[in-house]
Amino acid sequence: MSDTTSDTSDTVSGGPLDTSGAPIVGPCDAARCAAAGCVPTACVGAGLASNDEVFERSTRAIPGGVNSSIRAFSSVGGRPYSVASAEGAHVTDVEGRRYIDLVQSYGAVILGHAHPAVTAAVTTAAAAGTSYGAPTPREMRLAETIAAAVPSCEQVRFMNSGTEATSTAVRLARGATGRDRVVIFHGNFHGATDALLAAGGSGVATLGLPGTAGVPAGAVAETMVLPYNEVPELTDEVAAVIVEPVAANMGVIAPEPGFLAGLRAECDRVGAVLVFDEVITGFRLGRGGAQAREDVRPDLTTFGKVIGGGLPIGAVGGRRELMEHLSPLGPVFHAGTLAGNPIATAAGLAALDLLTDDVYIELMARARHLSAVLRDACASAGFAAQFPVVGTLVGIVCGDVPRPIDFDGAKRTDEAAYARFFHAMLGEGVAMAPGAYEAIFVGLAHTDDVIDRIGAAAERAARSAGGPPGG
Ligand X SMILES: Cc1ncc(COP(=O)(O)O)c(C=O)c1O
Q: List residues binding ligand X (CB under 6 A).
A: 106, 161-163, 166, 189-191, 202, 244, 249, 277, 279-280, 304, 314
Ranked by CB distance to ligand X, the top (closest) residue is 162
In the complex with ligand X, which residue's Cβ is closer, 47 or 435?
A: 435
Would you call 72 helix, strand, or coil by DSSP? helix
Supply the DSSP symbol for 406. S
In the complex with ligand X, which residue's Cβ is closer, 162 or 187?
A: 162
Spatial CB neighbours of 180, under 8 Å, sequence gap ≥ 6: 174, 222, 237, 239
Minimum CB separation of residue 405 from ligand X in Å reads: 18
Beta bridge partner(s), residue 243:
276
Would you call 373 helix, strand, or coil by DSSP? helix
Spatial CB neighbours of 209, under 8 Å, sequence gap ≥ 6: none
In the complex with ligand X, which residue's Cβ is closer, 313 or 430?
A: 313
Minimum CB separation of residue 306 from ligand X in Å reads: 11
**Where would I find the H helices in 320-447?**
320-323, 342-354, 357-381, 407-410, 415-427
Minimum CB separation of residue 160 from ligand X in Å reads: 8
Let me know: does 233 contact 266? Beta carbons within 8 Å.
yes
Strands (E) across 160-219 are located at: 181-185
In the complex with ligand X, which residue's Cβ is closer, 246 or 389?
A: 246
In the complex with ligand X, which residue's Cβ is closer, 383 or 441?
A: 441
Minimum CB separation of residue 202 from ligand X in Å reads: 6
In the complex with ligand X, which residue's Cβ is closer, 189 or 421?
A: 189
In the complex with ligand X, which residue's Cβ is closer, 162 or 409?
A: 162
Interatomic CA distance for residues 148 and 137, integer angstroms: 16
Residue 431, H or E segment: strand 430-431
Minimum CB separation of residue 196 from ligand X in Å reads: 9
Spatial CB neighbours of 305, under 8 Å, sequence gap ≥ 6: 105, 106, 107, 108, 162, 279, 280, 282, 284, 313
Minimum CB separation of residue 458 from ligand X in Å reads: 24
Would you call 316 helix, strand, or coil by DSSP? strand
Minimum CB separation of residue 104 from ligand X in Å reads: 12
